Structures are given as structure tokens and as C-alpha cells.
Amino acid sequence: MSRSIRITQNADGTFGLKMENGKFVWAEDGTQAAQHATTRLNIFYGENELNPELGTKWYQIIFQTNKSRAEKEFEIKRIILGTPGIAQIRKFNWTQSGHTLYIDSIVDTDWGEIDISQEITPL
């Protein structure tokens, strides 16, 4: 079983730990894998000192206007499919407006199908 504290996106768009009645809410199995993918998408390439290859290449690819849509899509999918517990992408659509990325996606995890649709503004 895979388990971690649940992360949720607040009304202002920032991510934080989810609490109910003064206690942390736990994410398990497929939900935890989907949450891990979101966390990986929000880490900038080179930001993690222990594993600088871990992050998303926001400045190197996603924010670059000279990069093709295919290159950007490959980078997003690389992060999602590189997440432990995610087996395959079942549905995937994305758009970008400035520094905001909109992902509409469903993935198969080791525990079943999970919707990982989200809006990400890393700046």
C-alpha cells in the first residue's frame, strides 16, 4: 500500500496539506500516485539538490516559445509516466496560456484509474 499526507490546491491556487477536524487527511494508493505526479510537475528542473534531474523543465522547454507543442507534451508526459505507480496515460489533453498549464488527463495506476486533471501555475 502506498500512502502519504493528502495535498490539495487552495482557492488561491497554492498547494497545501489537507486537514479535516484538525487532523491530516491521508492519500492512499492511486490517489497518492496522482498526487505524486502533481508534486513532480511542480518541481523545477534542477531544484532538487539530491536529484537535479527530477524536475519539470519549465524554463528549458515549457515556457520557451521556440519549442514545439510536441516537445512540451513530451516533457509533461515524461514527468507523469516517470511517477512510481503510474502505468499508462489513458486520456491526455493540455493547453498553455502564458505560465499556466491546463492538463486534462486520466491515468492508469497500479491501483486503478485516476483523474489527474489540474491547472498548474508554477510562478
In the three-class reduction of DSSP (H, G, I as helix; E, B as strand; rest coil), residue 50 is classed as coil
- Tell me, what's the pLDDT at 2? 61
Q: What is the mean pLDDT of residues 91-108?
A: 94
* Per-residue pLDDT reduced to its tens digit, 24-79: 767 777 788 888 888 888 889 988 788 777 889 999 999 999 999 999 999 999 99
- Domain 3-120 CATH assignment equals 3.10.450.40: yes
List Cβ neighbours of 19 (8 Å cut-off, separation of 6 or more). Answer: 25
pLDDT band at 16 (very low <50, low <70, confident <90, very high): confident
Q: What are the structural domain ranges in the chain?
A: 3-120
61 or 23: whose pLDDT is higher? 61
- Tell me, what's the pLDDT at 75? 96
Asked whether the predicted pLDDT for residue 13 surpasses 60, the reply is yes
- Tell me, what's the pLDDT at 70? 97
